[in-house]
Amino acid sequence: MSRLDELLSLEEEIRQCRRCPLYRTRKNAVPGEGAAEPRIMFVGEAPGASEDESGRPFVGRSGELLTELIVGLGLSRNEVFITSILKSRPPNNRSPNRAEIDACLPYLRRQFEILNPRIVVLLGNIAVSAVIGHWKVSECHGRSYDTEGRIFFMTYHPAAALRFPRIKETMNGDFKVLRSMLG
């Protein structure tokens, strides 16, 4: 099976998922989108209202900022892969609970295996904690962690940067470090 076929098969499995109760309240599962052979992958927390409506990741205001940051790396959205820890929207945009994260992590791990990105950018506390372990983004942003044969780069979630101008400045600095890693 080709990489693209594996990815499409996994996306269909995610769309049919009933591993946690979120399937009852979502409009669309949001598997992720982008290149089938990306050098870099972005992982957020969970779909929001716009993402739930469209079935696409990072399409709201946070997505606009993420797209700007990606362009600043000299890339476009279709050259990277964008997804989230959760593939379904939690009601009222609440934070994901541990059971929901545990239900979705196998999907993310399979995406790592299929896509095999060299760098995975973890956006925000939920993404960092779910993949690396309990670290606060305020303490680890702009740094990378090498494990599982890839580089995990940690930074703030674009939603935080939209709320707090200081975080947006910090995130811009983090993306300068990330750009230097892309070489």
> Given this model, what pLDDT does residue 30 score?
98
Q: Looking at residue 91, what DSSP letter applies?
A: G
Chain segment 77-108, per-residue pLDDT in tens: 999 999 999 999 999 989 999 999 999 999 99
User: What's the confidence (pLDDT) of residue 1?
Assistant: 81
Nearest to 112 by CA among 47, 32, 183: 32
Confidence at residue 147, expressed as pLDDT on a 0 to 100 scale? 84
Ramachandran bin of 93, using left for φ above 0, alpha for ψ from -120 to 50, beta for the remaining angles:
left
pLDDT at 52: 96
Is residue 41 within 8 Å of residue 81, measured between CB atoms?
yes
Q: What is the pLDDT of residues 126-167, one digit of tens each?
A: 999 999 988 899 999 999 999 878 999 999 999 999 999 999
User: What's residue 134's pLDDT?
Assistant: 86
As given in the structure block, the two tokens for residue 43 are 């992982």
Q: Are strands 40-44 and 119-123 parallel, antiparallel or unpaired?
A: parallel
Measured CA to CA, the distance from residue 112 to residue 118 in angstroms comes to: 10
The pLDDT score that the predictor gives to residue 69 is 98
Q: Which of 183, 181, 175, 177 is nearest to 67 (CA)?
A: 175
Domain ranges of the chain: 3-182
Classify residue 74 by its DSSP letter.
Answer: T
- Say which CATH superfamily domain 3-182 falls into: Uracil-DNA glycosylase-like domain (3.40.470.10)
Q: In whole angstroms, how far apart are CA 158 and each of 42, 114, 154, 168?
A: 11, 26, 12, 8
Lookup: tokens for 25:
């309240």
| Cα end-to-end distance, the chain, whole Å | 32
Beta strands in the chain (DSSP E): 33-34, 40-44, 81-84, 119-123, 143-147, 150-155
